[in-house]
Structure 1
Amino acid sequence: MPLRLEVSVGDHVESYATRVEEIGAATISVLVPMARMRSRRLSTGTLVHAEYIFRNRRCRFVTEVAGHSADGLHELLHLPPDIDTLERRQHFRLQTALRPHSLFRLVVGPDDTPAEDASLEDCTIVDLSEGGICLSSRVLLQDGERLGIVLPLPGVGEINARLRVLSVDEPQRGKLNRRAHCIFTDIRLSDRDRIARYLMRRQLEMRRRGQL
């Protein structure tokens, strides 16, 4: 079974590809990971974020390197106490401070007319998951409104998606911005994968800094 590993190395995150060879009582045996066609042996105790696909479900777990096989062909990972899937944990949400390249209202029906402020400026994405975003803005948005977004994710690329506003929170006392909770209604699988990679990298960085 193919397995993707992400490991914090210095001030950045590296992604490796490997394959599960055997699952024992306490460890998982995987081939020595590869990156850019070169093997990358991991030190015992290295914290690893792992991800694989099983029956069209994305499965993730966090573990540590337990050691190496006697022949040097395999890395041994501690068997994780828990594995998250999209069935059990819908979408991990992460607080962010991302600025979209563009965010705009959509015309989706013959009775709709473009708003004068169809392009929404001065907006910040304060919460991100594979399922949607939370948008902070002074612009008044309505429940059910359709939006388009082009959002750069540092280190993994740019996503281009469509959103629907689920609900809008009015500004808290002393604040000016509203918060609009939105779900993705049209997003490519490759863009959803970019979000997953970005979230995993941010989690690794935050764990390394003691923020999680």
Structure 2
Amino acid sequence: ALPEIRTLTLTYALAGADCIDVAADPAVIAAAKSGLDAAERIAKADQRSGYRRPWLMVSMSAGEDPHFRKAEFDPAICPKDCPRPCEKICPVEAIEFAADFAGVRRDRCYGCGRCLPVCPWGLIAAHSYPTPIDAVAQQVPSQVDALEIHTHVGEHAAFKDLWQTLQPWVGNLQIISISCPDGEGLINYLKDLQQIMKVPESAPGKDLKASAIALKTKSHHVIWQTDGRP
């Protein structure tokens, strides 16, 4: 998977991407950086005018979030005559029934949820894997240019814990995106996050439900982003 990440990052960079979002994993970040370095060398060799190295972004979760879930099931209890619609519908071929492996390859699954309703027996479940603050959040921010935090209404405590952990590095980031789905109490929740982050409420744009509102702070921009299906 890591060589594929390097190749995809290189491809998107040469295609003109402004920002590339990857998982908050040191190995994944290293692979993506290798792709960005290769793209930069190619751009220089080809004398591409106007080439700009894309920002590298990582995504983290403040509390449980659908973007950080994985499908799981026990293949041993799957009926032998099942047509396996889960295997057919998976967009990244994370579900396999092979001689050497059966089940969900967690490194491929990104939590889209397509397999959950199609299982005729209801054997597939989704389990959340929030960002491990003590491990990942302390290693990753210094290695990237941008950060996306996925959250939803009611996760004040989880967001505050994550933000306090990230605080020493946020000043070095080019941009921070707060991604939150719509729901009851959304506006008040986002205003609470403003207080936690110490983002001034007098920033441009009054509608916090807008898809992208940039709020300039001392050293970075914050984007308030409506969230959707993984």
Task: Give the TM bin, normalised by the shorter chain.
Answer: under 0.3
TM-score normalised by L of structure 2 = 0.22
**Which structure: greater helix fraction?**
2
The higher-RCO structure (CA 8 Å, 6+ apart) is: 2
TM-score normalised by L of structure 1 = 0.23
